[in-house]
Chains A and B, each alone.
Chain A
Amino acid sequence: MKRAIFILLALVLISAGVFAGGQGEAKKVKLIYMTAGDVNMLALGQNVFGPEFEKKYPNISLVTIHTGPGNAGSQRIYEKILAESKSNKEEWDVDVAMVHQIFMKWAMEKDLLLKFAKDLDTWKYVTSPFAKKALGVDIEGYAMPMFHSQTALAYNPKYVKNPPKSYKELEEWVKKNPGKFGYNGIKGGMSGVSFTVGWVYAKTGKYQKYAVTGPFEQSEVNSWEGVFKDLKEFNKYVTFTAGNVGTLDALNRGEIWMGPVWVDMFFTFMNEGKMDPNTKLILPEPGMPGQPMYFVIPKKAAHADAAKKFVEFATSPEIQAKDIVERFNWYPGIDGSYLKDYIPKEVYNKIYRDVTPKDLAKKGLAFPLADYFSAILESYEKWVK
């Protein structure tokens, strides 16, 4: 037993030593940057933003922390900041965060954020309506969009010669090709949610009311029974996949021929050799929702000034062009017209090959107002079970 304890202690000391060695770097401002999203957000922070930002500001070092994909990732950031706001701490640990739209609703309700965006030099490049409202909540000044992502239908032209161009045509198509369209329902990530929301827009034709003007009325929700009964019928001809990536995996393995995906994840899959390069995208009529990811700064961030410098850096036209668009294949957070000088033509063509800027403007929709959004998700659970 003594020997066992001795060896255990030795192990503790060794690993503690190694750990301490890794920590002992020069004293700088440590900017804590938490990011939700795919693992490439972590790579972006650690391998790209970190070194480049430090080159410009040698006394600040960026510590990137990844909190996981989807709403769950944003949720964890929210829990962290909320817990800090409940304690009496004067300085909060998190300096800057990268979050989804739903986070904005939660955080604005609890007043957790700093109004910083209009202080930035780069605010003038922002033209997107998404910078003003998120799910119908007023956020102007509290959030800076870093990139915009869009859902669309991916399909393999080898099997699908004439892809359906609208939700209506898709309904016919799945009946002729049962099991070849796949999506992830509403519990497996936002691409399935987005498909469902698009379905409601298509069937009701009330995008303006649900996503832009409002107001929320229960009578609208009550009128959806038919909409979801149709979806239930549609689901009979569909393969269910496990999560956003499940759909991409199923495309990768050739199990399905078509399915809704996030455009940026789709391109990442292609870059990582997991998607047939011939696979294409299409935005069906009347369109599908997309959403940006935002930079936010918590109200009592310990290093708010450094955080602002960092956001300014990441939303400058140069970085947006070089890293966001060229390297990661996202649509930029600031107005694309400021980037033209910085982006090579072939990159531009690849990203906008299938879904043109015109398509995006017309068919790149927003997610509905928060109340309609919850109502859509709950109605799905109620009627499609």
Chain B
Amino acid sequence: MGKIVMSDNVQKRRGFIFPPYILLLFPAVSFMLLVYAYPFVSSVLKSFINKEGALSLDNYFKAWDLYLKDILFTFSITVFNTIASGIVAILLAVYFRLHESPISRFLLNLYRLPIFIPFVVVAQMMNSFLAPHGLLNVALAQLRLIDLNNPLQLFNFIGLSFGFIWKLAPFTILIIYGGFQMIDNSYIEAGRSAGAKWFKLITRILIPMNKPSIMVALVLIYSQIVGTFTLPYMLIGGKIPTTITVDIAHRVNYFRDFGVANALGVFSYILVFVTAIYYLKTKVKEVK
């Protein structure tokens, strides 16, 4: 659909010249449309079909009724962790870019490790690390910082956030630092010799020049947090509230209820789409 409209526009503007980007985009876009369009459209359609097979909004009412708390919980988890990971990542990436030393080079490699650990492993690791009698609490108790009869309770928002940031901040660092590397030293030197302090250097030069990478990194981790199942499942599980992904698995595994599952999917898609619109707006500003 989109492609037909697109070439129409092009023809109006440029006559019959074949724009080169069509050729460049063609393999990737046609791949996506071929493989993804049918399953996606059919999923969305199923969310509008009720148990009797008729067209209705029943699934949405049910999802809203049973899982509103979870939808809000997912949204707050996602927003908080995207921002938190973003801040941590920008600070560290700035440090790596501006300060060359053996320690910074070592840390740059150290912070890559979590990227390579799949979510399912992170989930398990965090489960045994953050548990009331897990490694963290036991270690703190050995140091006499807490009492094991009253350990830190981390199977909640805080623990979940720790897990997400642990895994996703390094991912963000890699993208943002990659962008920082491309900023020529001369800009930074110029800023420094003009007497710019660290803070100004960051907000006036590094971040603006690297905005595309930062935005991309944020949207990517945002959508990953919305879609992650294992980490919330293993840390929060059946507690209330939990995340949308846990609810979807529950609907599908126990009821084979793809209607409500897909309705929840549409909700989570909307969560991502909201960021999409935000992203779109900032991009429009950029062009102006």
Chains A and B touch (C-beta atoms under 8 A apart): yes
A contact residues vs B (CB 8 Å cutoff): 70-72, 75, 102, 106, 184-188, 192-193, 240-243, 246, 249-250, 253-255, 374, 377, 381-382, 384-385
Q: Known contacts A250-B131, A382-B66: does B253 contact A185 (CB below 8 Å)?
A: no
Asked if B16 is an interface residue, CB under 8 A from chain A, the answer is no
CA A271 to CA B233, docked complex, whole Å:
26
Residue of B nearest to A384 (CB): B240
CA A254 to CA B131, docked complex, whole Å:
11
Contact in complex: B237, A241 (CB < 8 Å): yes
Contact in complex: A377, B254 (CB < 8 Å): yes
CA A193 to CA B237, docked complex, whole Å:
13
The 3 closest A-B pairs by CB, nearest first: A185-B238, A187-B238, A242-B237
Q: Give min CB distance, A159 to chain B, whole Å.
A: 12
Q: Known contacts A188-B233, A242-B155, A246-B234: does B253 contact A71 (CB below 8 Å)?
A: yes
CA A187 to CA B234, docked complex, whole Å:
11
Option from A71, A193, A242, A385 in Cβ contact (under 8 Å) with B233: A242
Q: Within B48-104, which residues are at the interface with A (CB < 8 Å)? A: 66, 69
Contact in complex: B133, A242 (CB < 8 Å): no
Asked if B108 is an interface residue, CB under 8 A from chain A, the answer is no
Contact in complex: A185, B69 (CB < 8 Å): no
Contact in complex: B249, A240 (CB < 8 Å): no
Contact in complex: A243, B253 (CB < 8 Å): no
Q: Give min CB distance, A248 to chain B, whole Å.
A: 12
CA A253 to CA B236, docked complex, whole Å:
17
List chain A residues, Cβ under 8 A from B233: 188, 242-243
Q: Give min CB distance, B277 to chain A, whole Å.
A: 31
Q: Give min CB distance, A44 to chain B, whole Å.
A: 23
Asked if B235 is an interface residue, CB under 8 A from chain A, the answer is yes
Contact in complex: B66, A381 (CB < 8 Å): yes
CA A250 to CA B151, docked complex, whole Å:
13
List chain A residues, Cβ under 8 A from B239: 185, 240
Q: Give min CB distance, B43 to chain A, whole Å.
A: 14
CA A249 to CA B135, docked complex, whole Å:
13
List chain B residues, Cβ under 8 A from A243: 233-234, 237
Q: Known contacts A70-B253, A75-B256: does B237 contact A187 (CB below 8 Å)?
A: yes
Interface of B is mostly: helix
CA A106 to CA B255, docked complex, whole Å:
10
Q: Known contacts A192-B238, A240-B237, A374-B255: does B134 contact A187 (CB below 8 Å)?
A: no
List chain A residues, Cβ under 8 A from B128: 249
Contact in complex: A249, B131 (CB < 8 Å): yes
List chain B residues, Cβ under 8 A from A377: 254-255
Residue of B nearest to A72 (CB): B253
Residue pairs across A and B with Cβ atoms less than 8 A apart, 7 shown, are A71-B253, A184-B238, A187-B238, A242-B127, A246-B127, A246-B234, A250-B132
Contact in complex: B66, A255 (CB < 8 Å): no
Q: Give min CB distance, B126 to chain A, whole Å.
A: 10
Asked if B250 is an interface residue, CB under 8 A from chain A, the answer is yes
Option from B66, B133, B234 in Cβ contact (under 8 Å) with A253: B133
Option from B69, B235, B246, B252 in Cβ contact (under 8 Å) with A75: B252
List chain B residues, Cβ under 8 A from A241: 237
Asked if B242 is an interface residue, CB under 8 A from chain A, the answer is yes
Q: Give min CB distance, A228 to chain B, whole Å.
A: 13
Contact in complex: B246, A187 (CB < 8 Å): yes
**Given A184-B237, A246-B234, A381-B66, 11 new contacts (CB under 8 A):** A102-B254, A184-B238, A187-B238, A188-B238, A242-B127, A242-B238, A243-B233, A249-B128, A255-B131, A377-B255, A385-B66
Option from A185, A240, A253 in Cβ contact (under 8 Å) with B134: A253
Q: Give min CB distance, A274 to chain B, whole Å.
A: 11
Residue of B nearest to A380 (CB): B238
Contact in complex: A71, B238 (CB < 8 Å): no
List chain B residues, Cβ under 8 A from A384: 240
CA A297 to CA B81, docked complex, whole Å:
47
Residue of A nearest to B128 (CB): A249
Q: Give min CB distance, B248 to chain A, whole Å.
A: 11
Contact with A along B99-126 (1 / 0, CB 8 A): 0000000000000000000000000000
List chain B residues, Cβ under 8 A from A249: 127-128, 131
